[in-house]
Chain A
Amino acid sequence: MTDAEIRALIFELIGDIAPEADPAVARDQDDLREIFDLDSMDFANLVVAIHDRLKVDIPEADYNKLFTLSGAITYLRDAFAKK
């Protein structure tokens, strides 16, 4: 899976959780929770959605690695490659 595909997937899934979210405002280093106003439940639902779609294991201890867009892309790229 390419970085661009992962990025598109993340925005798609966030769009379902926070329909008003505008991907255009997100920079790679931004905290997704801050910029898209995701609370604890939203972020938990985002992880569920990513897990469902990519079938990658995301331990709760790794959640902080997905807080930024760049971090999430790196983590999921690596996790997907290990599958």
Chain B
Amino acid sequence: MPALGADMEAGTLVEWLAKPGDRVKYGDVIAVVETQKGAIEVEIFQDGVVSSILVPVGERVPVGTVLAQIDGAPGAAAPRAEAVAVAAKPAPPPLVESPPPTTVGAPQGQRIKVTPAARRRAAALNLDLGSILKGTGVEGSIRLTDVEVAASGAKLAPPSAKRGLDLSEMRKAIAAAMSRSKREIPHYYLTETVDLQAASTWIERFNAEKSPIERILPAVLFLKAAALALREQPKLNGAYENGVFSPSPDIHVGWAVSLRGGGLIAPAILDADKKSLAQLMAAMRDLVERARRGNLRSSELTSSTITVTSVGDRGAETVTGIIYPPQVAIVGFGRIVTRPYAVEGRIESRPLVALSLAADHRVTDGHIGGLYLSAIARLLQEPEKL
């Protein structure tokens, strides 16, 4: 049973997607476990053949319990039996690199209308939209619910009951993790006001030339700048465990997603510093949708090396986060506001954002944190280079 967060102590095995004798490969989803963060797909991180299932469906077991045994790797001279608790290391989640088509072929050559959410869900389920002859939307358009029903009938996905989120359980998980963080981590906090004139102008021009699916949100610039700035301050990127800080060679940003009805989850966007803005927008879109549906993968909950939160255009002016252990920093972006701002001796009306950092004093101090925030602010002045 993988530990899908600092607060997780146990999980319930709700479905096996592999059986003894099945050949599995790196990145395959082989099980679904129910946690306080909802149903999570558990991936395997080696190639081999499932030799035995050790935990039956319905059983709740502690973190670290071996769930299944995988025999050998294909091509190995002498296959070895290895028990795995899965999720030993992260695997890259699939990325949505480009928008899928807006319609699908119908049996008689008609074009069926499909909502974007339905398209993405069908792609995730590997479901042929052409198999849905008529949707329940306007003019027979295919909606998300139609895809879920079709997938259920085709047995391509576990029943939806297993995919829901229990927000009261999630609240307990958040309380446990944040209490531990506040109890154990000596936080320090820094804030910086960032002039977004250049970023706003650039994004306006960028989006003006794009179709709606290609447009990006300001949060994408925030995410990329925060990721790139970590290259200059690696002591803010990693994990503090057993009294030792281990910097991460990779920059995997946990992107905070608020859930409808309450709750928060921060799945990872892997190698965020290396992705283009378009790739980051696609990754954010995908993660937000799956996080709210309770459809994340184990690797997405275990690989973040820092967390970034952006409250969007309906949030508060300032947000100051609580570090999610074992990470050592969280970056916050408040709502963009237009305010009087001094520019070269003149007062001008400017779009501004309050940038914040909460970091672990056991690893860094305010000097490092300040340099990091300055780097983010600097990067946001040249958005064309992000």
By a beta-carbon cutoff of 8 Å, the part of chain A in contact with chain B is 5, 8-9, 12-13, 15-20, 33-34, 37, 39-41, 44-45, 47-49, 51-53, 58-61
Contact A12 B137 (CB under 8 A): yes
Closest residue of chain B to A58 (Cβ to Cβ) is B212
- A8 to B136, alpha carbons, bound, how many Å? 12
Contact indicator A48/B212 (Cβ below 8 Å): yes
B183 located at the interface, meaning its Cβ lies under 8 Å from any Cβ of chain A in the complex = no
Q: Which residue of B lies closest to A44 (CB)?
A: B217
Q: Measured between alpha carbons, how far is A19 from B145 in the docked complex, in Å?
A: 9
| Total contacts A-B at CB 8 Å | 71
Considering the chains assembled together, what is the distance between the CA atoms of A1 and B380 in angstroms? 43
Let me know if B141 and A44 touch, CB within 8 A. Answer: no
Min C-beta distance of B295 to chain A, whole Å? 13
Main secondary structure of the interface of A (DSSP, over half): helix
Minimum C-beta distance from A22 to chain B (A): 13
Please name all residues of chain A whose beta carbon is closer than 8 Å to the beta carbon of B313 when the two chains form the complex: 39-40
- The answer to whether B118 has its CB under 8 Å from any CB of chain A is yes
Residues of A within 8 A of B285 (CB): 41, 45
Contacts of B115 in A (CB 8 A): 12-13, 16, 49, 52-53
- Top 7 A-B pairs, shortest CB-CB distance: A16-B117, A40-B312, A48-B212, A52-B102, A51-B212, A16-B144, A16-B115
Residue ranges of B at the interface with A (Cβ–Cβ < 8 Å): 102, 113, 115-118, 137-138, 141, 143-145, 204, 207-208, 211-213, 215, 217, 219, 258, 260-261, 284-285, 288, 312-314
- B118 neighbours in A (Cβ, 8 Å): 16
**Chain B residue contacts of A33, Cβ below 8 A:** 314
Q: How far is the CA of A60 from the CA of B206 in the complex (A)?
A: 10
Q: Give complex CA distance A13, B117 in Å.
A: 9
Which residue of chain B has its CB nearest to the CB of A18? B260
Contact status B217-A47, CB under 8 Å: no
Contact of A45 among B102, B117, B145, B258 (CB under 8 A): B117
Cα(A37)–Cα(B115), bound, Å: 19
Judged by DSSP, the binding face of B is helix
Q: Which residues of B contact A16 (CB under 8 A)?
A: 115-118, 143-144
Contact A47-B288, Cβ < 8 Å, known A16-B143, A20-B260: no
Known A9-B138, A40-B312; judge A52-B116 contact (CB<8 A).
yes
User: Do the beta carbons of A8 and B116 come within 8 Å of each other?
Assistant: no
Measured between beta carbons, the chain B residues less than 8 angstroms from A41 are 217, 219, 284-285, 288, 312
Q: How many angstroms between the C-alpha atoms of A59 and B145 in the bound complex?
A: 29
Complex Cα–Cα for A49 and B212 (A)? 9
| A17 to B172 CA separation, bound complex (whole angstroms) | 26
Known contacts A41-B284, A45-B117, A48-B213, A5 near B138 by CB under 8 Å = yes
Which residues does chain A contribute within 8 Å of B204, judged by CB atoms? 60-61
Q: Please name all residues of chain B whose beta carbon is closer than 8 Å to the beta carbon of A47 when the two chains form the complex.
A: 212
A8 touches B213 (CB 8 A): no
Take A19-B144, A48-B116, A52-B102 as given contacts and tell me if A40 and B137 are in contact as well, using a CB distance cutoff of 8 Å. no
